[in-house]
């Protein structure tokens, strides 16, 4: 009797599925992805509720989707970028999305995760199982992505676009990244070592100063791409350094991170040691812009960051129309028309508008 | 022969400590040498003769503003850092010596008793509340003292204070304050206050400036001078309670006086360089091995030895590799084995006598 009923039910269910598949079309489309840890990720339908634990991915999901409706949780440092940057103005609703799903150390808060009820949780891969197990143990679907290279960035952006059922959005973005990268590399590939200025990117500055070696470091990737070399290439991984070491490196250009809101170029110019470096003497100290996301790590706006840096490092080789490129990109990514005031804010024109090479970024 | 109470303590274990004058000359020479080497060493290469010339000019014209990069490195980066390290090392060593005398217990030190952790909590709390400058130092000092008072009350059972209960009470209070700092870290804005709070837990001199030297100097000098003034009293307090009382010492108020002084010293040190472990326990022992138990010679020996040790360790931390090596790693790596060695030698010698 029970068996009979179950059979009937299963027949009915499969008929139902078939009907749904017939009527719903794309809605019932199943999605299968292999993530960066080689794990199969299965979705019965495009993800509608997504939690992003890696910091740059929150704005990545917004850009790939063209809105905030699918993002239901993010890293606290993603939220500060949204609140401090322009994304909070373009998408005011994003500022109310919860950031309690994870600590800034990427350790998920399972209860808050469960409360957000996501059908997909994006998490860092390559950092051990401790930050992944809480997600899978709670029965949630995890997509693991790896940080480091441009290739990985394109791969995981494609995975996420596929997962949210908008694969058509990723093609043009990847093509754009490829085009800008090739355009820049065509001009810098033949540069001799002597023609490559040394650039120091500081991941932290205010309480302790940190810099990174070249291996697996995205900042070093684009520093090399635009025809410069990283002053801190000799370090292994991210390490605390002191001002004396910076004086010894004596970089031609200093890049300050966009993660510390109180940090601006005066931190260098007011310092008795750093103000004597070549970078400070030649007014080539720049804080990384904060657009839809901070331009330091890989994100949907990376090509804008490369153009910005290429113009600053080799003004004789490059002359990108950065303001025009930004307007086009923001239209595509967020369906938003950037004003000149928006661009001034993103590029910190008020703080570093007088820096060497910055005049070409001024509004015409 | 006139004997007074202070001397009575110096002699219960008659040990031959060579010639104290020679030992002191050796210690002071070591300190001066380590300071000089430290001023000449660093990631930015300044030739030794140039560094010494800069230093000489800096001493001759202290008001002049250094203009070239090597002048600024030596006078604005290395000099305050070396001075701060020396003062912090001396302060921690002398505070440890004082505590060990008062508790009659060789296993206590500012970090083991939770004073450093309490002071760090004071600093972190001030940052969260948006307090900076002198009031911040005041909170660092007050919370450090509160930790010590807490240990004092916790460990006192039926009017008696036993070695084990002191250590355990220190553990309890220290863990409590560490947890409170972690709680503040949790609440803190990850962008702005958090890095500033982490500083209090990870001891470092990398942020040394002349301003910080000025902040730390009054407390460290005053505290050390007061402990030096209490050197006879420390000798008496180190006696058995009944013995000390019979010699006319009012143990309780004098003990509190020492605690207050220790809190001033440790508060000043933590306020400028965060929690630094091991110095407060290793140095007093090393000093005791060199000059004996009499606080009249022990205190100055601890000051000089602590300063020299801290300067050497910090020089290693900042100049061995391009990256700064965390100070706590080196103090523990050097401190723990030295401590183990000292401990074994100390007890073996005691058995032999």
ipTM: 0.79
Least confident piece of the model among B58-62, B198-202, B219-223: B198-202
Burial B255-290 (b: 16+ CB within 10 A, else e): bebbbbbbbbbbbbbbbbbbbbbbbbbbbbbbbbeb
Distance from CA of B25 to the nearest CA of A (A): 33
CB atoms within 10 A of CB A40: 8
What pLDDT is stored for residue B167 in this prediction?
Answer: 78
**Nearest alpha carbon to residue B237 among B94, B96, B98:** B98
**B212 close contact with A: CB closer than 8 A:** no
**pLDDT average, residue stretch B211-224:** 92
Backbone angles phi, psi at A214, to 5 degrees: -80, -30
Are residue A64 and residue A158 in the same domain, yes or no?
Answer: yes
According to the per-residue pLDDT averaged within each range, which of A10-19, A32-41, B162-171, B257-266 is highest?
A32-41
Are residue A153 and residue A244 in the same domain, yes or no?
Answer: no
* Structure confidence by residue, pLDDT tens digits, A137-178: 999 999 999 998 999 999 999 999 999 999 999 999 999 999
The stretches of chain B forming alpha helices (DSSP H) are 5-10, 20-40, 48-60, 69-72, 79-102, 115-128, 134-155, 163-187, 193-201, 210-229, 231-237, 241-246, 251-273, 279-291, 295-319, 327-352
Is residue A223 a part of any domain in this protein? Answer: yes
**pLDDT average, residue stretch A122-130:** 92
What pLDDT is stored for residue B111 in this prediction?
Answer: 84
Residue B337 tokens, joined: 């084995």
Least confident piece of the model among A80-89, B19-28, B129-138: B129-138
The total number of structural domains that make up chain A: 2
Contacts with A, B 174-203, CB within 8 Å = 190-192, 195-196, 198-199
Is residue A176 a part of any domain in this protein? Answer: no
A260 and B191 within 8 Å at the Cβ level: the answer is yes
Distance from CA of A143 to the nearest CA of B (A): 25
Are residue A134 and residue A39 in the same domain, yes or no?
Answer: yes
**Nearest alpha carbon to residue A62 among A31, A32, A27, A90:** A90
Are residue A224 and residue A139 in the same domain, yes or no?
Answer: no
The total number of structural domains that make up chain B: 1
Q: How confident is the model at residue B13 (pLDDT cuts 50, 70, 90)?
A: very low
Are residue A217 and residue A262 in the same domain, yes or no?
Answer: yes
d(C-alpha B298, C-alpha B68), whole Å: 43
pLDDT at B201 over 80: no
Helix A167-188, helix A302-313: angle, nearest 10: 10
Q: How confident is the model at residue B14 (pLDDT cuts 50, 70, 90)?
A: very low
Are residue A157 and residue A243 in the same domain, yes or no?
Answer: no
Is residue A184 a part of any domain in this protein? Answer: no
**pLDDT average, residue stretch B289-298:** 91
What pLDDT is stored for residue A285 in this prediction?
Answer: 98
Q: Is the sign of the CA dihedral B58, B61, B65, B69 positive or negative?
A: negative
Are residue A248 and residue A122 in the same domain, yes or no?
Answer: no
Least confident piece of the model among A108-122, B23-37, B52-66, B125-139: B125-139
**Nearest alpha carbon to residue B307 among B14, B27, B54:** B27
A239 and B73 within 8 Å at the Cβ level: the answer is no
**pLDDT average, residue stretch B40-59:** 92
Count CA atoms within 13 Å of residue A11 on its CB side: 6
* Structure confidence by residue, pLDDT tens digits, B327-349: 888 888 877 887 677 667 667 77
* Percent of chain B predicted with pLDDT > 70: 89
Is residue A266 a part of any domain in this protein? Answer: yes
Residue B42 tokens, joined: 């660093």
What pLDDT is stored for residue B17 in this prediction?
Answer: 54
Are residue A155 and residue A203 in the same domain, yes or no?
Answer: no
**B62 close contact with A: CB closer than 8 A:** no
Smallest Cβ–Cβ distance between A244 and the set B73, B191, B198 belongs to B73
Its domain, for residue A113, covers 29-164
Distance from CA of B207 to the nearest CA of A (A): 8
Least confident piece of the model among B99-108, B121-130, B186-195, B235-244: B186-195
Is residue B169 a part of any domain in this protein? Answer: yes
**pLDDT average, residue stretch B88-110:** 89
d(C-alpha A14, C-alpha A26), whole Å: 18
Is residue B216 a part of any domain in this protein? Answer: yes
Is residue A273 a part of any domain in this protein? Answer: yes
**Nearest alpha carbon to residue A156 among A54, A306, A305, A35:** A35
Are residue A153 and residue A225 in the same domain, yes or no?
Answer: no
DSSP bridge partners of A43: A31
Residues of A in contact with B192 (CB under 8 A): 260-262
**pLDDT average, residue stretch B243-270:** 85
The three-class DSSP label of residue A116 is helix
Is residue A239 a part of any domain in this protein? Answer: yes
Are residue A131 and residue A201 in the same domain, yes or no?
Answer: no
Residues of A in contact with B44 (CB under 8 A): 244-245, 247-248
d(C-alpha B95, C-alpha B280), whole Å: 7
Q: How confident is the model at residue B113 (pLDDT cuts 50, 70, 90)?
A: confident
Place of tokens 């014209």: B61
Its domain, for residue B320, covers 86-352
A234 and B77 within 8 Å at the Cβ level: the answer is no
DSSP B78: I
**Nearest alpha carbon to residue A169 among A61, A55, A74:** A61
pLDDT at B213 over 70: yes
Q: What is the CATH number for A68?
A: 3.40.50.1980
pLDDT averaged over every residue in chain A = 91
* Percent of chain A predicted with pLDDT > 70: 92
Gyration radius from chain A CA atoms: 23
Smallest Cβ–Cβ distance between A240 and the set B77, B78, B324 belongs to B324
DSSP assignment string, A51-62: EE-STTHHHHHH
Is residue B121 a part of any domain in this protein? Answer: yes
For B252, counting Cβ atoms within 10 Å of its Cβ (0-12 exposed, 13-18 middle, 19+ buried), the class is exposed
Q: How confident is the model at residue B8 (pLDDT cuts 50, 70, 90)?
A: very low
pLDDT averaged over every residue in chain B = 85
Angstrom CA distances, B220 to A165, B84, B143, B259, B261, stand at 65, 10, 17, 14, 9
d(C-alpha B64, C-alpha B102), whole Å: 45
Residue A244 tokens, joined: 């004396």
B324 and A248 within 8 Å at the Cβ level: the answer is no
Is residue A11 a part of any domain in this protein? Answer: no
**pLDDT average, residue stretch A95-113:** 92
Helix B163-187, helix B193-201: angle, nearest 10: 160
Q: What is the CATH number for B243?
A: 1.10.3470.10
Is residue A134 a part of any domain in this protein? Answer: yes
Residues of A in contact with B72 (CB under 8 A): 272-273, 276
d(C-alpha A268, C-alpha B72), whole Å: 15
Q: How confident is the model at residue B353 (pLDDT cuts 50, 70, 90)?
A: low
The three-class DSSP label of residue A339 is coil
The three-class DSSP label of residue A249 is helix
Smallest Cβ–Cβ distance between A261 and the set B44, B69, B192 belongs to B192
What pLDDT is stored for residue B335 in this prediction?
Answer: 76
**pLDDT average, residue stretch A26-53:** 90
Is residue B106 a part of any domain in this protein? Answer: yes
Q: How confident is the model at residue A21 (pLDDT cuts 50, 70, 90)?
A: very low
Burial A84-119 (b: 16+ CB within 10 A, else e): ebbbbebbeebeebbbebbbeebebbeeebeebebb
Is residue B170 a part of any domain in this protein? Answer: yes
Are residue A231 and residue A284 in the same domain, yes or no?
Answer: yes
* Structure confidence by residue, pLDDT tens digits, B152-180: 889 887 777 776 788 789 999 999 999 99
d(C-alpha B302, C-alpha B31), whole Å: 12
* Percent of chain B predicted with pLDDT > 90: 42
A24 vs B287, more confident:
B287
What pLDDT is stored for residue B163 in this prediction?
Answer: 66
**Nearest alpha carbon to residue B175 among B117, B121, B126, B120:** B117
What pLDDT is stored for residue A17 in this prediction?
Answer: 43
**B74 close contact with A: CB closer than 8 A:** no
> Which residues are CB-contacts of A300 (< 8 A; sequence separation ≥ 6)?
A59, A60, A63, A64, A157, A173, A292, A293, A333
Are residue A113 and residue A229 in the same domain, yes or no?
Answer: no
Q: Do A259 and A333 form a contact (C-beta atoms < 8 A)?
A: no
pLDDT at B271 over 70: yes
pLDDT at B11 over 60: no
Burial B206-219 (b: 16+ CB within 10 A, else e): bbbeeebbebbeeb
Burial A277-301 (b: 16+ CB within 10 A, else e): bebbeeebbbbbbbbbbbbbbbbbb
What is the separation, in whole angstroms, between the first and last Cα of chain A?
81
A244 and B191 within 8 Å at the Cβ level: the answer is no
Burial A137-158 (b: 16+ CB within 10 A, else e): eeebbbbbbbbeebebbbbbbb
**A107 close contact with B: CB closer than 8 A:** no
**pLDDT average, residue stretch B72-88:** 95
Is residue B50 a part of any domain in this protein? Answer: no
**pLDDT average, residue stretch B251-274:** 87
pLDDT at B243 over 70: yes
């Amino acid at each position: 009797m029970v068996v009979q009923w179950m059979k009937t039910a299963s027949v009915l269910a499969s008929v139902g599925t078939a009907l749904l598949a017939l009527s719903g079309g794309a809605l019932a489309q199943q999605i299968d992805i292999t993530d960066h840890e080689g794990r199969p990720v299965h979705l019965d339908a495009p993800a509608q509720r997504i939690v992003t634990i890696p910091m740059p991915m929150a704005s990545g999901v917004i850009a790939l989707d063209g809105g905030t409706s699918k993002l239901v949780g993010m890293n606290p440092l993603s939220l500060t970028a949204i609140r401090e940057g322009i994304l909070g103005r373009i998408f005011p609703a994003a500022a109310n999305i919860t950031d309690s799903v994870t600590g800034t150390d990427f350790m998920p808060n399972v209860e808050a995760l469960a409360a957000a009820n996501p059908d997909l949780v994006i998490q860092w891969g390559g950092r051990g199982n401790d930050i992944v197990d809480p997600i899978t143990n709670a029965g949630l679907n995890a997509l693991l992505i790896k940080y480091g290279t441009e290739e990985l960035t394109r791969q995981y952006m494609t995975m996420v676009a596929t997962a949210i059922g908008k694969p058509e959005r990723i093609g043009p973005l990847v093509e754009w990244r490829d085009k800008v990268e090739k355009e820049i590399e065509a001009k810098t590939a033949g540069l001799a070592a002597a023609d490559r200025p040394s650039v120091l990117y500081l991941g932290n500055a205010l309480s302790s100063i940190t810099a990174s070696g070249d291996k697996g470091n995205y900042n070093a990737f684009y520093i090399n791409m635009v025809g410069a070399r990283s002053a801190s290439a000799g370090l292994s991984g991210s390490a605390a350094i002191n001002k004396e070491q910076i004086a010894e490196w004596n970089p031609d250009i200093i890049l300050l991170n966009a993660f510390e809101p109180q940090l601006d170029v005066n931190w260098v110019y007011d310092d008795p040691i750093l103000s004597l470096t070549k970078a400070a003497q030649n007014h080539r100290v720049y804080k990384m812009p904060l657009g839809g996301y901070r331009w330091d790590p890989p994100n949907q706006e990376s090509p804008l960051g490369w153009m910005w840096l290429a113009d600053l490092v080799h003004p004789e080789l490059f002359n990108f129309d950065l303001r025009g490129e930004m307007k086009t990109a923001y239209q595509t990514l967020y369906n938003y028309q950037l004003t000149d005031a928006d661009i001034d804010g993103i590029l910190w024109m008020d703080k570093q508008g007088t820096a060497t090479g910055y005049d070409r970024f001024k509004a015409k | 022969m006139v004997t007074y109470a202070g001397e009575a303590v110096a002699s219960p274990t008659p040990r031959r400590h060579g010639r104290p004058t020679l030992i002191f000359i050796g210690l002071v020479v070591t300190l001066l040498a380590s300071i000089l080497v430290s001023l000449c060493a660093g990631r930015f290469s300044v030739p030794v003769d140039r560094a010494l010339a800069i230093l000489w000019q800096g001493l001759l014209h202290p008001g002049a503003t250094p203009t070239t990069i090597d002048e600024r490195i030596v006078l604005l980066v290395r000099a305050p850092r070396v001075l701060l390290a020396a003062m912090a090392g001396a302060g921690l060593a002398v505070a440890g010596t004082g505590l060990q005398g008062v508790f009659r217990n060789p296993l206590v030190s500012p970090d083991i008793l939770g004073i450093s952790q309490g002071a760090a909590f004071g600093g972190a709390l001030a940052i969260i509340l948006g307090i900076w400058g002198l009031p911040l130092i005041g909170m660092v000092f007050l919370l450090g003292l509160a930790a010590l008072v807490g240990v004092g009350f916790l460990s006192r059972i039926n009017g008696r204070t036993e070695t084990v209960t002191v250590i355990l009470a220190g553990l309890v209070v220290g863990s409590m304050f560490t947890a409170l700092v972690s709680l503040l870290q949790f609440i803190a804005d990850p962008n702005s206050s958090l890095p500033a709070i982490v500083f209090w837990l990870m001891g470092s001199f990398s942020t040394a400036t002349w301003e910080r030297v000025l902040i730390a100097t009054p407390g460290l000098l005053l505290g050390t001078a007061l402990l030096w003034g209490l050197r006879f009293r420390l000798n008496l307090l180190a006696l058995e309670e009944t013995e000390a009382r019979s010699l006319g010492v009012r143990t309780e108020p004098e003990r509190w006086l020492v605690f207050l002084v220790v809190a001033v010293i440790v508060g000043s040190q933590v306020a400028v360089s965060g929690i630094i472990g091991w110095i407060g326990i290793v140095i007093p022992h090393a000093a005791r091995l060199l000059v004996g138990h009499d606080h009249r010679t022990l205190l100055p020996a601890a000051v000089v030895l602590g300063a020299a040790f801290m300067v050497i360790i910090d020089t290693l931390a900042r100049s061995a590799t391009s990256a700064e090596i965390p100070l706590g790693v080196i103090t523990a790596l050097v401190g723990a084995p030295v401590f183990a060695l000292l401990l074994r030698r100390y007890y073996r010698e005691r058995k032999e006598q």
